[in-house]
Amino acid sequence: MKKAIILLIMVFAVSFSFSINLYEYKFQGITIYKSVGAPIDPFFDYDELKVSNWDPFEPELITIREGSPVIIIIHGISPKEINEKIDDYKRSMIESFKTYSPKNVGLYFYLYPTLTVKLEYSAKKLVEYTKKFDSFYIFAHSMGGILVRYALQDLNFQDKVKKVIFSGTPHRGSPLANFIILKKHVFNYISNSKIELIKFALITSNIVGGSIEAPNYRYLIFGKQYPVIPKQIETYNFVGILDFNLKNVDIMDVITSKISYSLGLMLLKYMVENIFPENSLFQINDGMVPYYSAIQDAKNNIVFHFTSHSDLAFRRDIIEKVLEIFEIKKGENNEK
């Protein structure tokens, strides 16, 4: 029996370390679409397909700064991790907490592969890494909040959690994930302006690194059921709303006037406003997650207006609100 268990563990460890395929669709030398894990049935013209190996990395808990109390920071899905483990999104989270938190606060960043490795596995590793702490607070952005829901099924983990902030977490998923993992061959049978808009937004968000076709977007599809949050945990939702309408804006104005960091979100918001009816649940959103989805399941909801999905990860006032909820007083010993 023991030998069988050891063999299974070895097989899993080896399978995790195996490279998976990264597919890059190019047109005139420019990568216009990417998928990882499996090729897609292209809905666009391309003249070159580059296939390479990509290695998902093992989860790890990175010490930003030792101290007490302890805050565990958890990022969301990150399309750019195919290029680097800690991309600009993750670096911004780390630097914001490091800058705006008092020096005595212990800060730990949970780095996990978001595109292909199952959240159940990453949640289990989070539980293991946090056994060394007596207690801690959790700030989880976007899909990181879904990972936390899985980790909270562990009773020992539950007992150590003081408070959880779900920031921009899609507790009911997001229709944008449905578009990303949609079987693209359906485009061959439908020809209208809305389908063309979906195609355009998917390609453009891929080009700017805002999305990539990957298996783990299935965790974010609208209507997905997640593990229940234990009632005894004190929980908060941070909810962003982009308080402007792009419906009647020229798409080229969006492309040329917004910084590249937020361009993907703007394009996706533009797509939602033009595809779904005005009374849709999806119209109010942060550019990625609908308001309806972000306000579910936690005991408290705090809404931030004029706030995008990326803002909810690292903007100064967001971090300051985190510290207030965690009852961490901002003293003179802050890093400047």
Asked if the structure places residue 120 within a domain, the reply is yes
Give the closest residue to 55 by CA, choosing from 80, 105, 21.
21
Give the closest residue to 167 by CA, choosing from 234, 75, 91.
75
pLDDT-based confidence at residue 248 (cuts at 50, 70, 90): low
Mean pLDDT of 56-60: 96
Asked if the structure places residue 188 within a domain, the reply is no
Condensed to tens digits (0 to 9), the pLDDT of residues 168-220 reads 999 999 988 888 888 888 787 777 888 888 888 888 888 888 889 999 999 99
The gap from C-alpha 38 to its chain's centroid, in whole angstroms, comes to 21
Domain count for the chain, please give it. 1
Mean pLDDT of 289-309: 95
- Residue 265, number of CB atoms within 10 A of its CB: 23
Tokens of residue 51, six digits = 């296939």
Asked if the structure places residue 296 within a domain, the reply is yes
In terms of residue numbers, what domain contains 280? Answer: 60-174+215-325
Asked if the structure places residue 201 within a domain, the reply is no
Ranked by mean pLDDT, the top range of 81-85, 235-239, 281-285 is: 235-239
Condensed to tens digits (0 to 9), the pLDDT of residues 69-85 reads 999 999 999 999 999 99
Tokens of residue 217, six digits = 């977007």
Asked if the structure places residue 209 within a domain, the reply is no
Q: Order the strands of the 30-36 sheet from edge to edge.
A: 30-36, 20-27, 48-54
What pTM was estimated for this model as a whole? 0.88
**3-class state of residue 277 by DSSP:** coil
C-beta separation of 111 from 60 below 8 A: yes
Tell me what the pLDDT averaged over the chain comes to: 86
pLDDT(259) > 60: no
Which residues, in sequence order, are bridge partners of residue 137? Answer: 71
pLDDT of residue 138: 98
pLDDT of residue 193: 83
pLDDT of residue 332: 43
Asked if the structure places residue 122 within a domain, the reply is yes
Question: CA 258 to CA 255: how far, in whole Å?
Answer: 6
Q: Please give the residue that has the higher pLDDT: either 191 or 288.
A: 288
pLDDT of residue 247: 58
pLDDT(326) > 90: yes
> pLDDT above 90 covers what percent of the chain?
65
Mean pLDDT of 93-118: 97
Give the closest residue to 142 by CA, choosing from 327, 289, 304, 323.
289
pLDDT of residue 164: 98
Asked if the structure places residue 128 within a domain, the reply is yes
Condensed to tens digits (0 to 9), the pLDDT of residues 160-170 reads 999 999 999 99
pLDDT-based confidence at residue 266 (cuts at 50, 70, 90): low
Give the closest residue to 72 by CA, choosing from 155, 161, 153.
161
pLDDT of residue 10: 38
pLDDT-based confidence at residue 279 (cuts at 50, 70, 90): confident
Q: Please give the residue that has the higher pLDDT: either 176 or 314.
A: 314
Least confident of 101-105, 107-111, 331-335: 331-335
pLDDT(245) > 90: no
Asked if the structure places residue 251 within a domain, the reply is yes
Residues in Cβ contact with 119 at an 8 Å cutoff, skipping those fewer than 6 apart: 143, 146, 147, 150, 216, 219
The domain spanning residue 138 has which CATH number? Answer: 3.40.50.1820
The torsion of the CA quartet 306, 308, 314, 318, rounded to 10 degrees, works out to: 40
Condensed to tens digits (0 to 9), the pLDDT of residues 145-158 reads 999 999 999 999 99
pLDDT of residue 303: 97
